[in-house]
Amino acid sequence: MRVFTEKLTDDGVTLTAYLPDYSEEMKHMAKRPTMLVIPGGAYMFCSDREAEPVAFAYNAYGYNAFVLRYSVGKGKAAFPRPLEDAELAMQTIIDNAQDWNVDTDRIAAIGFSAGGHLCAALATMGKIRPAAVVLGYPCILESISNILAEPIPSLDEKVDAKTSPAFIFHAAEDGCVPVEHSLAFSTALAKAGVPFELHVFEKGYHGFSVANNAVYDKQEHVDYQAHLRCWVDMSVRWLHQRFN
């Protein structure tokens, strides 16, 4: 596997690649589907728990993965600057597709919480939109701006027929980003005729990421692991349907 980091701007925006090696035994993987990973962190920081562990999860299914560390913090995260970072990441992946074994028709993006907002912004407003997006407990509505580094636009209002198809998952008892955010975005997708799949887990909490031992830091969350981690496999199966 090749692991390296590309500097996208002089202000700390980076793209870290996790690229499985090519093998003659797997010629069908000469060009791989690719996932752009956008961690959460309230636009104040980029969560490590939603970065490399997510990249590894999709690597296990044969994907290239790239983790975007975008503009965060008061002032720096003012919209649309993070969206410009995500657009630059998409363009960088496309520009290097030959060297990085990227199938440019199968570039998806995944975002969590505030990173889910950025991912959904890329899907609805981006100059270069992913073929599909995966949104984990995403911030969608501007009403949640009070807990973020900077105000955000409501993205359910930005959905149109050109919006990327979406796989969305959330916990009904999320006490940080209410499930209404995912419901609002799903409703907008339905009205626009955009394909989507929504999974609302009855039990869970905010920030469960890939829901395994690599990301859990509280013993009381261990019981949720088997219940929540199935979203990874479900998202891959959904993406396979979209890409084939």
- Residue 100 has a pLDDT of 97
Beta pairing partners, 6 = 15
Global pTM reads 0.96
Q: Where are the domains of the chain?
A: 2-243
pLDDT < 50 stretches in the chain = none
CA distances from 224 to 74, 136, 197, 221, 227 (A): 34, 16, 22, 6, 5
Which residues make Cβ contacts (< 8 Å) with residue 123, sequence separation at least 6?
109, 129, 130, 133, 163, 164, 166
d(CA 171, CA 134): 15
| Collapsed DSSP state (helix, strand, coil) of residue 2 | strand
β partners of residue 3: 18
Q: Give the residue among 180, 40, 45 at the shortest CA–CA distance from 110.
A: 40
d(CA 195, CA 46): 29
Q: Give which of 68, 36, 33 is closest to 242, Cα–Cα.
A: 33
How far is it, in rounded angstroms, from Cα 111 to Cα 243? 19
Contact 70, 118 (CB under 8 A): yes
pLDDT of 220 reads 55
CATH 3.40.50.1820 fits 2-243, yes or no: yes
Cβ-based neighbours of 232, under 8 Å, separated by 6 or more? 57, 58, 210
Q: What is the pLDDT of residue 217?
A: 59
Q: What is the pLDDT of residue 223?
A: 60
Q: Which of 182, 173, 93 is nearest to 140 (CA)?
A: 182
pLDDT the model gives residue 18: 98
Strands of 114-230 (E only): list them. Answer: 132-136, 166-171, 196-201
CA torsion sign, 59 to 22 to 90 to 193? negative
pLDDT at 244: 83
The string of pLDDT tens digits covering residues 222-238 is 566 778 989 999 999 99
| 100 vs 112: CA distance, rounded Å | 25
DSSP code at position 38 = E
